[in-house]
Amino acid sequence: MSDSIETRNPATGEPLAPVEASTSAQLTAAVAAASEAQPGWWSLGFDGRAELLRRFAARVRDDSEAAESLARAISTEMGKPLKNARAEVANVHKRTETFIARARGACEDERGSEGGIEVTTQWRPLGVVAVIAPWNFPVSTPNNLVMSALLTGNAVVLKPSELTPRSGALYHELLASVLPPGLFGLVQGGGGVGRALVASEIDMVAFTGSIATGQAIMREAASAMKRLVLELGGKDPMIVLPGADVEAAARFAVQNSIGNSGQVCVATERVFVHRAIEDAFIARVRELVSEFQLGDPLDDGTDIGPMASEGQREIVLAQLADARARGAEFVVEGEVRNPGYWLGPSVVRGVADDMRLASEETFGPVVAISTYDEVGEALRRANATKYGLGASVWGPADATTQGVAEGLEAGMIGINRGPSAAAGAPWVGWKMSGFGYTRSTAGMRNFMLPRTHARNL
C-alpha cells in the first residue's frame, strides 16, 4: 500500500492529479539497485561518465518538447513564471561542462613524497548518495547535487520535494534514460520518505532545504557516520554605503528580494541603507517594484507568480503583520489575491532587528529596509544572525567597501553585485547556513573519500 502525494496548483488552489508516494519496499529496492550499479559506473572511468552526462545535457538542450514539459511542470507545481522556469531548465545543460571540468580534477589521484616515503592519495566515490531536494528550484538545485555525485563515480537516489513531485519525476526520467539501469533511482514522498531514505543503506546525504530538516538529517546520519553536504537557509543582508551607485543598488535590492517571489536561498532579506541616501534609494525601489507584473505564471509577460504554497504565504503574511504591529512603514503593500496563493511584492521601511521580518527567514516577496548611521553599526547588525549564506555590499571601490566585505560573516559575498558563486567557485554557507559545500573542485571532493597508499622509497 502506498500513499499519494496531494498537491495544488498555486495559481488556482485547485488540486493537481495525485502522485504515488514510494513504499518502503520500493525505497529499499531503489537503494539496492543503485548500490549494485555503482561499481560499474566508477569502472567506466571519468570520460565514460562525462560522455553519458553530456548526452543528457544535449537532450535537455535539443529536445524542445521535453524541456518545455519540464518548465511547465515547474510553473504549474510551484508558481514560478514560465520564462524563469525555462531559464532554470536551460541552466541544467549550461552548467554541465563546468561540472565536468571541476569533477575531472577532483577524481585525479595525487602523489607526493616526504622523508623517504611515497604516498598516493586516491580519491574514490562514497557509494550511494541520497539527494534530498527542496521545491524552490525543483530541477536546478537537485541537478547540482546529482551531477556532483554522478561525475565523482557515485550512484544516486533522488527524493524531490513533496510540493514538486512531477518536476522531479520528469527530470529523473530524462537523466535516467542515458544512464545504466538502477544507477539513478527516484523515491517520492514527504518528510517520512526522506527520513527513511537517510536511514537506509546509503553512504551520503546531499541535502538542500531548511536548517531544521538539515539538523534532523544530521542527527539521523550520525548513527552510521554517513557523510553529509547540507545546503541550508539564509537571511542575506545587503549593506548600501554612502557613495554607492543608488540605481544599481536599488535594482539589485528589488530583483533579488522579490524574484521567484523571494523564494530563493540567497534572496536579499535585509537591506541596510545609510541615512544619507535612504530617501533616494527607497524612492527608486518603489518605482522599480511597480514595474513587476504579478500574473498567471504561464503568461510570458508575468514577472511574479503566486507563492508556492498556502503555508509559505502564511509565514510571510505573519511576518508582515508583526512588522506592521511594531511600527514598520509599508511603502508598498503586497496584494493578497485568492483563490490561489497570491501575494504581490511589499516594500517595508523602518524594519527593526527584533522584528520577525529581520530575524527569521522570510522566503517571500518583500524588500525589508532598515537605516543605519555608522558603517560599523551596519556590519554588526548584518552579522547578528545564525545565518551566513550570502551577503552583499554596495559602495565606492575603496577601503571601506572592501573592509565591509571582509567583515561580513557569510560564505558568499558580493561586492557591487550579488553573492552567487561564479562557475568554478564553491557554493557555501557559513554558521548555520550550511555544512560541507558543493561546486568547485574542492566541493566535488565532498562526494569522495581520500585513501592513501604509502611505500618506502
| Cell digits of residue 214 | 538539515
| 207/372 with CB nearer ligand NAD | 207
Using CB under 6 A as the binding rule, whether residue 410 contacts ligand NAD is answered as: no
Residue from 379, 394, 297 nearest 342 by CA: 297
Instruction: Spot the catalytic one: 88, 231, 269, 361.
Output: 231
Least Å distance between CB 388 and ligand NAD?
A: 11
Least Å distance between CB 12 and ligand NAD?
A: 21
Least Å distance between CB 410 and ligand NAD?
A: 11
Using CB under 6 A as the binding rule, whether residue 77 contacts ligand NAD is answered as: no
**By CB under 6 A, which span of 69-77, 79-87, 227-235, 449-457 interacts with ligand NAD?**
227-235
Q: Rounded CA gap, 140 and 13, in Å?
A: 25
| 153/234 with CB nearer ligand NAD | 234
Using CB under 6 A as the binding rule, whether residue 361 contacts ligand NAD is answered as: yes
Where residue 225 falls (left for φ over 0; alpha for ψ -120 to 50; beta otherwise) is left
- 299 CB-near residues (< 8 Å, 6+ apart): 81, 82
Least Å distance between CB 204 and ligand NAD?
A: 13
CA atoms within 13 A on the CB side of 452: 8
Query: Which strands, in side-by-side order, build the sheet including 448-456?
Result: 110-114, 117-125, 448-456
State which H helix or E strand residue 82 sits in: helix 82-94
Cβ contacts of 418-425, under 8 Å, gap ≥ 24: 418/252, 418/256, 418/266, 418/390, 418/392, 419/236, 419/266, 419/389, 419/390, 419/391, 419/392, 420/266, 420/390, 423/95, 423/98, 424/98, 424/101, 424/102
One-letter amino acid of 289? V
CA atoms within 13 A on the CB side of 27: 24
| Cell digits of residue 25 | 519496499
Q: Rounded CA gap, 426 and 328, in Å?
A: 37
| Cell digits of residue 407 | 567583515
| 133/249 with CB nearer ligand NAD | 133
Q: Rounded CA gap, 430 and 276, in Å?
A: 31
Q: Is 8 helix (H, G, I), strand (E, B) or coil?
A: strand
| 341/372 with CB nearer ligand NAD | 341
Helices 45-62 + 140-151 axis angle, to 10? 160
In the region spanning residues 297 to 326, those forming contacts with ligand NAD, defined by CB under 6 A, are: none
Least Å distance between CB 266 and ligand NAD?
A: 7
Using CB under 6 A as the binding rule, whether residue 3 contacts ligand NAD is answered as: no
Q: Rounded CA gap, 366 and 344, in Å?
A: 9
Q: Are strands 117-125 and 448-456 parallel, antiparallel or unpaired?
A: antiparallel
Least Å distance between CB 91 and ligand NAD?
A: 13
Size of the site for ligand NAD (CB under 6 A): 30
In the region spanning residues 264 to 283, those forming contacts with ligand NAD, defined by CB under 6 A, are: 265
- 127 CB-near residues (< 8 Å, 6+ apart): 35, 38, 154, 155, 202, 203, 204
| 37/198 with CB nearer ligand NAD | 198
Least Å distance between CB 134 and ligand NAD?
A: 3
Using CB under 6 A as the binding rule, whether residue 215 contacts ligand NAD is answered as: no
Residue from 39, 89, 81 nearest 64 by CA: 89
| 161/370 with CB nearer ligand NAD | 161
Q: Rounded CA gap, 173 and 442, in Å?
A: 29
Q: Nearest-CB residue to ligand NAD?
A: 194
Q: Which of 78, 89, 132, 444 is in the footprint of ligand NAD by CB under 6 A?
A: 132
| 262/297 with CB nearer ligand NAD | 262
Using CB under 6 A as the binding rule, whether residue 262 contacts ligand NAD is answered as: no
Least Å distance between CB 304 and ligand NAD?
A: 18
Q: Are strands 336-337 and 346-349 parallel, antiparallel or unpaired?
A: unpaired
In the region spanning residues 140 to 179, those forming contacts with ligand NAD, defined by CB under 6 A, are: 141, 159, 161-162
Using CB under 6 A as the binding rule, whether residue 21 contacts ligand NAD is answered as: no
| 157/217 with CB nearer ligand NAD | 217
Least Å distance between CB 246 and ligand NAD?
A: 28
Q: Which of 74, 198, 202, 328 is in the footprint of ligand NAD by CB under 6 A?
A: 198
CB 183 within 8 A of CB 190: no
In the region spanning residues 176 to 195, those forming contacts with ligand NAD, defined by CB under 6 A, are: 190-191, 194-195
**By CB under 6 A, which span of 9-17, 104-112, 208-216, 333-341 interacts with ligand NAD?**
208-216
Convert residues 387-406 into a mask of x (bound to ligand NAD by CB under 6 A) and - (unbound).
Answer: --x-----------------
- Is residue 231 flagged as an active site residue? yes
| 27/107 with CB nearer ligand NAD | 27
Please report, as ranges, the residues that interact with ligand NAD according to CB under 6 A. Answer: 132-136, 141, 159, 161-162, 190-191, 194-195, 198, 208-210, 213, 216-217, 231-234, 265, 361, 363, 389, 429, 434
List active site positions. 231
